[in-house]
Every structure is written in C-alpha cells, then in structure tokens.
Amino acid sequence: MDAAYNLARWLVHDDHDAQDVVQDAYLRAFRFAGGFRGGDPRAWILAIVRNTAFTWLKRNRGSNQPTEFDEQMHAEVNEESGLEADAVRKADGAMIRAALEELTDEFREVIVMRDIEGLSYKEIADAADVPIGTVMSRLARARGKLARSLKDRIAKETA
C-alpha cells in the first residue's frame, strides 16, 4: 500500500489526489483480479496504480502541474540530531524533492520505483509494461538528470 501511494504521489503531485488514485487502482485490481496471470503481485498492483494515475492526470489536468509539497507530512525528524543537522537534512530533502519534481513522469516513476521503493528492474519493467533494457536506460538517464539538477542547485547556493 505504501509503494502504491508513493508512486501515485510522485505522479499526480498531490496527497489527496494520490489517495483517490490508489483507491481507484485497488478497486480496479479487485474488479479484475481474475485477469491476474501470476507473477509478482506488487508489480501488477503498481502497474494498475501507474495506469490509473496517468488516466486520472489526462482526465483531470491535461498536463503536469506541480503543486506545493507538504514538508511537515513527509519529513523524517530525528530528535537526537540537533537543530543544525535537522535543518541541513530538511534543506537537502527539499532540494532532492524539487529536483525530482522537475523530471518527466517516465523518469520520475523509475526513480521512485527503484530508488525509493526498491523494486527490481524486472518488477519495474512489469509495472511500466516496458522491456528491462528500457527501464535500465530510463533509470540511467533519470539519475543523470537528477545529478545535474542537484549539482546546479548546489552551485547556485554556494555562489
């Protein structure tokens, strides 16, 4: 359930919309459970979430419209770390989230599924309905774009 919500959240850019997408995806999965042909159920569910999110975006927005990220809801706070370390961690997290938001959906989804949710290349390929080679190339390109974006952001902050 967490992986489904995280993927939906990164694709639709809104907490409430992501909840709606996941709910709709689970209803579709339940309705079409007879069509499940075996394999990895996690990848199957994520494929449904992915398709539901893209359908929802087409129907409700027509384009990617970034929304404000709720820092308090998603920040991990370690009370033992001290204020300075906590401030650095929040700033770094905000920078990474902003860089992720700049990625196109096809790049963002592979980053989320692989680096945040820990899915294998095969699971991502099954969920996105693309060959494993495509997953690998998208992931490499997405990581490259993310690294360049972060490098640019850091350079701007230190200048």
Query: Measuring CA to CA, which residue among 88, 117, 7, 89 is closest to residue 53?
Result: 7
What integer best gives the mean pLDDT of the chain? 79
pLDDT in tens, 103-112: 898 898 898 8
Q: Which residue has the higher pLDDT, 64 or 101?
A: 101
Q: With bands split at pLDDT 50, 70 and 90, how would you rate the model's confidence at 137?
A: very high
Q: Which domain holds residue 28?
A: 2-158
Cβ–Cβ contacts within 10 Å for residue 14, how many?
19
* Euclidean distance between CA atoms 108 and 138, whole angstroms: 9
Q: Do the Cβ atoms of 109 and 11 come closer than 8 Å? A: yes
Terminal Cα-to-Cα distance of the chain (whole angstroms): 42
Question: What pLDDT does 68 receive?
Answer: 46
Q: Do the Cβ atoms of 111 and 143 come closer than 8 Å? A: yes
Overall number of domains in the chain: 1
CATH number, domain of 16, equals 1.10.10.10
pLDDT at residue 51 tops 80: yes
At position 148, the amino acid (one-letter code) is R
